[in-house]
């Protein structure tokens, strides 16, 4: 007999809890979360989003989540909760009692920390990692966006674990005419355009390393323009990617950077230090290069891209990362977590009634 967590005729109800989501104040924040939500809704899943807006409310909002959560549970009655980021938020939620099964997705910095200056901020970062690991112990399911994050979870974690990167919109991120994109942005047609994506003031991205590499490259007599992709609306990102000649990534650590997958979908070459799952993403793609975190090596790899000036042809490699494909895998994972939860509940009831070592009674001869 097989036990399933959800009969196929029953609609799944999922409450998504996240601290990153597009808003009027920050329309570009958490777009990859929004895309995942839309993909799940397209599969017929009933879904509600609880957006815990840390930017507006401050970090103490995580410790005041319980009334909001209880209200969502009462009004929406989900059969599963998906927390789409680790840290304090995930830890606080997993600490509440009487919850449906909980899935937590870890994206990178919630397990790797942040390269913040100052003792207090470093302590806060380490506390966030501690909270992530505690949440992983208490959750019924864990998702990491890249394989190298598994080792950061430690030994104590649920048996239901999945490596599942966030999906990308292959309809939006596709090759466009480079000349037209440059005209739209006002970029020079005869320069080599290097794109560097960063959140404003994020030291993990190591912008000083990227700029040092560009300076060396420029000293070799190349006409180059360095563009920082920050604060650009998601609808405009395809234009920036198609207008550029190369995406430069110099981060100290990453999970599964969405911008790399979007660049590949647009045919944009990538030069990156070996970080996150980038080596896996660009492996064996002619025109993409890994470099040491050294300005000279980065400049040399930029020069290789400049010499060829060719776009990539690798969209077929990204089909499994399209939003609908990722949503299908996520729904399958939900069913697995629900199945495990039902099995565990039956075992708990059996142990309570008969004892954990109860043996079947055999009929007398």
Locate 57 and state its tokens.
């409310």
Q: Do 47 and 140 lie in a common domain?
A: yes
Helix (H) / strand (E) element for 337: namely: helix 323-354
Phi then psi for residue 260, to 5 deg, are -65, -45
Nearest-5° angle of CA 233, CA 234, CA 235? 90
Give the pLDDT confidence score for residue 220 in this predicted structure: 79
In this structure, are 161 and 259 located in the same domain? no
Inform me whether the pLDDT recorded for 180 exceeds 80. Answer: yes
Classify residue 5: in a domain, yes or no.
no
Alpha helices by DSSP H, listed for 187-311, are: 207-219, 237-243, 258-265, 278-282, 295-308
261 and 142 in a common domain:
no
- Regarding whether 111 and 252 lie in a shared domain, the answer is no
On whether both 77 and 193 belong to a single domain, the answer is no
The reply to whether 133 falls in a domain is yes
> Do residues 64 and 126 both lie within one domain?
yes
Query: pLDDT per residue over 266-318, tens digit each?
Result: 999 999 999 999 999 999 999 999 999 999 999 999 999 999 989 999 999 99
| Counted domains in the chain | 2
Task: pLDDT band for 355, please (50, 70, 90 cuts).
Answer: low
Give per-residue pLDDT as tens, 305-331: 999 989 999 999 999 999 999 999 999
Residue 176, pLDDT > 50, answer yes
pLDDT at position 365? 41
- Looking at the fold, whether 204 and 94 belong to one and the same domain comes out as no
Instruction: Give the residue-averaged pLDDT of 36-53.
Output: 95
Looking at the structure, do residues 257 and 238 belong to the same domain, yes or no? yes
**117-175, pLDDT tens digit by residue?**
567 777 888 899 999 999 999 999 999 999 999 988 877 677 789 999 999 999 999 99
Q: Model confidence at 363, in pLDDT bands (50, 70, 90)?
A: very low
Q: Return the SS3 of 81.
A: strand
Per-residue confidence band for 349, with pLDDT thresholds at 50, 70 and 90? low
Predicted confidence at residue 54, as pLDDT, reads 85
**What tens digit of pLDDT does each residue of 228-260 get?**
998 888 899 999 999 999 999 999 999 999 999
If asked whether residues 139 and 271 sit together in one domain, one would say no
Is residue 360 predicted with pLDDT exceeding 80? no
Same domain, 36 and 150: yes
CA distance 38 to 40: 5
Of residues 27 and 344, more confidence is placed in 27
4 in a structural domain: no
Which tokens hold the place of 159?
A: 């048996």
What's the confidence (pLDDT) of residue 43? 94
Residue 244: CATH number of its domain: 3.40.50.2000
Q: 6-35: per-residue pLDDT in tens? A: 445 568 999 999 999 988 888 888 899 999
Q: Are residues 301 and 326 in the same domain?
A: no
Last residue of a domain, one of 317, 334, 353: 317
Q: What share of the chain is helix, strand, coil (3-state, %, to 5)?
A: 50, 15, 40
Domain that holds residue 294: 178-317
> Does residue 212 carry a pLDDT above 70?
yes
What pLDDT, on a 0 to 100 scale, did the predictor assign at position 231? 83
Would 7 be classed as within a structural domain? no
pLDDT digits (tens, 9 = 90+) for 104-115: 999 998 998 876
236 with 303, same domain? yes
Quote the tokens at residue 147. 């394989």
């Amino acid at each position: 007999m097989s036990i399933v967590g959800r009969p196929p005729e029953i609609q799944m109800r999922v409450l998504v809890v996240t601290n990153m989501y597009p808003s009027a104040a920050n329309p570009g924040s958490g777009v990859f979360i929004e895309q995942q939500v839309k993909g799940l809704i397209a599969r017929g899943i009933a879904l509600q989003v609880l957006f815990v807006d840390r930017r507006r409310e401050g970090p103490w909002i995580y410790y005041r989540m319980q009334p909001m959560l209880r209200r969502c549970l009462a009004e929406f009655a989900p059969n599963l909760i998906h927390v789409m980021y680790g840290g304090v938020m995930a830890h606080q939620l997993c600490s509440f009692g009487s919850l449906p099964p909980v899935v937590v997705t870890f994206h990178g910095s919630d397990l790797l920390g942040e390269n913040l200056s100052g003792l207090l901020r470093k302590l806060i970062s380490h506390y966030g990692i501690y909270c992530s690991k505690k949440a992983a112990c208490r959750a019924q399911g864990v998702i990491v966006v890249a394989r190298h994050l598994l080792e950061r979870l430690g030994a104590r974690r649920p048996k239901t674990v999945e490596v599942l990167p966030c999906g990308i919109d292959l309809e939006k991120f596709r090759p466009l005419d480079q000349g037209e994109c440059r005209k739209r942005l006002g970029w020079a047609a005869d320069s080599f355009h290097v794109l560097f994506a960063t959140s404003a003031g994020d030291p993990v991205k190591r912008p000083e390393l990227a700029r040092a590499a560009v300076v060396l490259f420029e000293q070799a007599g190349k006409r180059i323009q360095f563009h920082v992709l920050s604060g650009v609306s998601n609808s405009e990102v395809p234009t920036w990617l198609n207008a550029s000649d190369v995406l430069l990534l110099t981060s100290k650590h990453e999970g599964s950077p969405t911008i790399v997958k979007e660049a590949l979908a647009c045919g944009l070459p990538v030069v990156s230090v070996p970080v996150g799952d980038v080596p896996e993403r660009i492996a064996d793609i002619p025109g993409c290069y890994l470099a040491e975190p050294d300005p000279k090596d980065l400049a040399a790899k930029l020069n290789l891209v400049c010499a060829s000036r060719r776009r990539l042809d690798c969209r077929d490699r990204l089909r499994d990362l399209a939003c609908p494909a990722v949503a299908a895998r996520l729904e399958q994972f939900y069913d697995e977590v629900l199945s495990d939860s039902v099995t565990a509940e039956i075992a708990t009831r059996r142990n309570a009634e008969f004892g954990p070592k109860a043996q079947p009674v055999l009929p007398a001869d």
